[in-house]
Amino acid sequence: MESKLTPLFEDIVKQKKTPGIGAMLVNSEGDFLLKQTYGTTNLDDPSAAPFTADTTMQIFSCTKLITSIAALQLIEQGKLSLSDPVEKYIPRISKIQVLESFSSSPSGASASATSTSGQAEPALRAPKSKPTILQLLTHTTGFSYDFFDPLTCQYRSHTGRKPGGYSDPSDWADFETPFIADPGTKYIYGVNTDWLGAVVQQISGTKLPEYIDQHILAPLGMNDTGAYLDRLNKSKLAVHFTTEEGKLVAVPTFRTNEDPALFGGGAYLYSTMNDYAKLLATLLNKGTSPVTGKAILKPDTVKEFLFTDHLSPEVDRSLLGESGDAIPLVSSPGCFLPGLPHSKRGWSCGLLLNLEDLPYGRRRGSGGWAGLGNLYYWIDLESDVAGMVCTGVLPFFNKDVLKLFDQVERVAYGHEPATTAGSGEEAEGMMNHRAGPPPEESAMIGTSSTAKI
């Protein structure tokens, strides 16, 4: 299995499409079926350490799964309910309004479209319903991100907030952007999990990083994951930005704020490929670590909340799996699961779901997601495999990394890799498969490595 992927890794690193990059496959017993890493932690520093499975990375929105698990723990304990209004725990959400435009003033809007100075003003109105905990978990409150949504980007600039500044939050205002749809009406990926983290903190009476460490990271032995970089492995992958000329430039000072007024639950964690494998293996093992034997969720919770679609039929799914480019330096346009219509894509209380088998990969009901620095993962309960590709480049939806991720998945299920990963050809988005029959069961996951997580 490794030999099939080695040329693809070597190609993407040789062409400097990424600094360091790694991939892994793991099963429910905690066995690595694949673990490969290539490249460096800093393209601009010849003396930089190599990228390994123990290199610390900013995992961006791969944090969200962990925060969602924390909320599900509170649901198991009866301290939280999906139907609870968010304002029960965070009253300030009741002041959030719906942003309709910057160009027209609808009837009843609280701001005119144009100020006396001629500057466009946001047209805001009260939401038609109150957001719930379920809507935070399923990204259906109406919140967005400014790098995905032009209206949200314009609003943040209008109110003096740093565009794309979610990795360095300092106060509530970073997450108090308006809804761009009424709660419960449309899937829109945004700052929902940041608010969810505040709910966890409020109920537990503990700062979010401390709660996560005590109730999730420590039980799983994820000792190289946390909010505070100085306490972790000293070798860190520098985040690299792509210039207009297509060159990667390292920004080693780019890091999250480790002492904010509010820890949002969406993107604050650092981790390693080895550590995140422990989380994925635990979910494959129905919530119990195959290494430590400790449970973070009950089996029924894993299946019913993380691998079951929780979007109601009336929810607009047109943005489900779609990536925006309101800030091109941060995110590129693209689409997860482009081979599936939106009606066959779902969202659980933490994962994007494919509601049909994919022809070259995961089975129906599998879940996955990503991190802004081009980290991508999937979890397939039926096939007993989870996979991940890790790097640290912006903007999001890098076609070369997505192409490699696609090839890792093809190989995981017994298929040959399609083409050279670094070329970027045909990389329209994650799992952009060509037509073909699903593999026979006998051609499924290999055992190229028996190393434990």
Q: Domains in the chain and their CATH numbers?
A: 2-62+208-443 (3.40.710.10), 72-204 (no CATH)
Closest CA to 310 of 357, 353, 261: 353
Q: Across-strand partners of 250?
A: 240
Angle, to 10 degrees, between the axis of helix 2-14 and the axis of helix 399-412? 170
Count Cβ neighbours within 10 Å for each residue of 6-17 and write b for 16 or more, e otherwise: eebbebbbeeeb
Can the peptide bond before residue 328 be classed as cis, meaning omega within 30 degrees of 0?
A: no
The set of residues, in sequence order, having a beta carbon less than 8 Å from that of 64 and lying 6+ positions away, is 193, 265, 266, 267, 350, 369
Angle formed at CA 137 by CA 294 and CA 291, multiple of 5 degrees: 15
* Whole-number Cα distances in Å, 256 to 59, 65, 111: 11, 18, 34
List the structure tokens of 338: 């482009």
Closest CA to 69 of 284, 351, 324: 351
E strand or H helix at 37, and its extent?
strand 32-39
0.95 exceeded by the pTM? no
List the structure tokens of 68: 């969602």
Residue range 182-208, pLDDT digits in tens: 999 999 999 999 999 999 999 999 999
Q: What are phi and psi of 259, to 5 degrees?
A: -140, 55
Distance CA 13, CA 36 (A): 13
Helix and strand element counts for the chain (H, E): 10, 16
Give me the amino acid identity at 216: I
pLDDT mean by block of 10 residues, the chain; 453 residues? 88 95 98 97 96 97 99 99 99 97 57 53 96 99 94 91 67 89 98 97 97 99 95 90 93 86 91 98 99 98 99 97 91 93 98 95 96 98 98 96 96 82 41 36 36 84
Q: Are strands 393-394 and 239-242 parallel, antiparallel or unpaired?
A: parallel
Q: Which pLDDT score, from 0 to 100, does residue 166 have?
A: 63
Q: Which pLDDT score, from 0 to 100, does residue 115 have?
A: 47
Q: Which pLDDT score, from 0 to 100, does residue 453 have?
A: 87
* Whole-number Cα distances in Å, 168 to 114, 162, 262: 31, 9, 10
Q: Are 263 and 209 in contact (CB under 8 A)?
A: yes
Report CA torsion sign: 137, 140, 145, 147.
positive
Q: Is 439 helix (H, G, I), strand (E, B) or coil?
A: coil
Report CA torsion sign: 61, 225, 264, 89.
positive
Distance CA 141, CA 311 (A): 12
Length of the chain: 453
Helical spans, DSSP H, in 85-217: 133-138, 150-158, 192-204, 208-212
DSSP-derived secondary structure for 195-222: HHHHHHHHHHTS-HHHHHIIIIIHHHT-
List the structure tokens of 92: 């300030």
How many beta carbons lie within 10 A of that of residue 125, not counting itself? 19
Q: Which pLDDT score, from 0 to 100, does residue 118 have?
A: 57
Q: Are 271 and 57 in contact (CB under 8 A)?
A: yes
Q: Are 183 and 132 in contact (CB under 8 A)?
A: yes
Residue range 359-374, pLDDT digits in tens: 888 999 999 999 999 9
Q: Are 38 and 51 in contact (CB under 8 A)?
A: yes
Distance CA 65, CA 69 (A): 6
E strand or H helix at 367, and its extent?
strand 367-371
